């Protein structure tokens, strides 16, 4: 409960890093169990840092190894279960429950590098909470064996687990994604999920192994359903797609060529470069009825002719 020091760094390449600015947050001045949206100006920099800080004792987001899994300890599991039992339904209405996710491993991932390998890491998102594993380099069958703990703010939320390939200073490459509604989780059962594309419509390549535990108070979760959902502060950055860019360039080329060919045809007709072609073209135009005659055919008794 002291001062939180924050540094913002920029990385030009793999070797050179530069500190862009710093800021401080007095944690002791923030209210507990409440989302605090802070916009902090950076020292020695024109920018600012937008932060969403929530102080929740013993129920925050955490990362640990399998050997120190929070719910693996029977006494701690009993204590957490007791906290979310029906007898405590009217205490701390925002503390709905917790979700523990064990990210075990993935298998048969897509090779994103020219070497036929990938540098995969896993990103977990639940509402505004985002956590990620470490990167396993040069491996298509990575093992992370990490435990992630999330506080539950809405029982109707969906846990999104995305596998990326680390690509140095460039944006990471997409390797697959799964979306798991919280209400579909079966406690303590290891599951193998097929990775899907970004739209979650088709199977991608590879699978990921997860084990999840969900402990929550059903009364608090039901009441929370009738309150507005938390505003999403983290938005996915749209990355420029080379495939879409190439397709759009081809479309512009085709349209430009069509216009150019049409202009050349009209020019050749008026300049009588080909007597036969110009004669046929002008004869065809001469046979076309005027616009007023065309409109008369369809006007009928509705109104006067155009």
Q: Within a domain: residue 299?
A: no
Alpha-carbon gap, residue 216 to 151, rounded angstroms: 10
- Which of 17-21, 90-94, 286-290, 291-295 is least confident? 291-295
Q: Within a domain: residue 69?
A: yes
Residue 213 shares a structural domain with residue 255: no
Please report, rounded to a whole number, the percentage of residues in the chain having pLDDT higher than 70: 83
Residue 91 shares a structural domain with residue 219: yes
Task: Domain of residue 126: give its range.
Answer: 62-226
Residue 27 shares a structural domain with residue 142: no
Alpha-carbon gap, residue 60 to 141, rounded angstroms: 30
Q: Within a domain: residue 169?
A: yes
Residue 212 shares a structural domain with residue 137: yes
Residue 221 shares a structural domain with residue 260: no
Alpha-carbon gap, residue 76 to 258, rounded angstroms: 72
Cα–Cα distances (Å) from 304 to 178, 292, 299, in that order, read 64, 11, 7
Residue 71 shares a structural domain with residue 49: no
Q: What CATH number did the domain enclosing 133 receive? A: 2.60.40.150
Residues 6 or more apart in contact with residue 30 via CB below 8 angstroms: 36, 53, 55
Alpha-carbon gap, residue 48 to 46, rounded angstroms: 7
Residues 6 or more apart in contact with residue 277 via CB below 8 angstroms: 268, 269
Residue 75 shares a structural domain with residue 222: yes
Q: What is the mean pLDDT of the chain?
A: 80
Q: Within a domain: residue 164?
A: yes
**Structural domain count, the chain:** 3
Q: What is the pLDDT of residue 163?
A: 94
Residue 201 shares a structural domain with residue 67: yes
User: Last residue of some domain: 34, 55, 76?
Assistant: 55
Residue 8 shares a structural domain with residue 119: no
Q: Within a domain: residue 198?
A: yes
Pairing of strands 62-65, 203-216: unpaired
Q: Within a domain: residue 235?
A: no
Residue 13 shares a structural domain with residue 126: no
Q: Angle formed by the axes of helices 275-287 and 242-270, to 10°?
A: 90
Interval 24-33: pLDDT, tens? 888 888 887 7
Residue 258 shares a structural domain with residue 163: no
Residue 108 shares a structural domain with residue 177: yes
**DSSP bridge pairs for 5:** 24
Q: What is the pLDDT of residue 18?
A: 80
Interval 244-274: pLDDT, tens? 666 678 788 889 888 988 888 888 877 777 7
Q: What is the pLDDT of residue 15?
A: 63
Q: Within a domain: residue 291?
A: no
Q: Within a domain: residue 75?
A: yes
């Amino acid at each position: 409960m002291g001062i939180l020091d924050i540094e913002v760094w920029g990385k030009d390449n793999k070797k050179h890093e530069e500190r862009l600015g710093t800021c401080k947050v007095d944690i002791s001045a923030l209210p507990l169990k409440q989302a605090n949206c802070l916009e902090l100006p950076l020292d020695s920099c024109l920018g600012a840092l937008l932060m969403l800080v929530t102080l929740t004792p013993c129920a925050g987001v955490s990362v640990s190894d399998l050997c120190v899994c929070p719910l693996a300890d029977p006494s701690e599991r009993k204590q957490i279960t007791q906290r979310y039992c029906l007898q405590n339904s009217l205490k701390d209405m925002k503390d709905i429950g917790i979700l523990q996710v064990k990210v075990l491993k993935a298998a048969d991932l897509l090779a994103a590098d020219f070497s036929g390998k990938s540098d995969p890491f896993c990103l977990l998102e639940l509402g505004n909470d985002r956590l990620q594993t470490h990167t396993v380099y040069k491996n298509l069958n990575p093992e992370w064996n990490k435990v992630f703990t999330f506080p539950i703010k809405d029982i109707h939320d969906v846990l999104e687990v995305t596998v990326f390939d680390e690509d140095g200073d460039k944006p990471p490459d997409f390797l697959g994604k799964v979306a798991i509604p919280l209400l579909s989780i079966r406690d303590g059962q290891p599951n193998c999920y097929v990775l899907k594309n970004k739209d979650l419509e088709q199977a991608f390549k590879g699978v990921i192994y997860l084990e999840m535990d969900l402990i929550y108070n059903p009364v608090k979760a039901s009441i929370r359903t009738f309150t507005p959902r938390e505003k999403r502060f983290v938005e996915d950055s749209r990355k420029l797609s080379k495939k879409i860019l190439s397709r759009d360039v081809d479309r512009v080329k085709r349209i430009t060529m069509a216009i150019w060919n049409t202009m050349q045809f009209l020019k050749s007709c008026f300049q009588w470069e080909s007597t036969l072609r110009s004669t046929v073209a002008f004869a065809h135009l001469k046979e076309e009825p005027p616009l007023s005659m065309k409109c008369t055919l369809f006007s009928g008794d509705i109104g006067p002719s155009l």
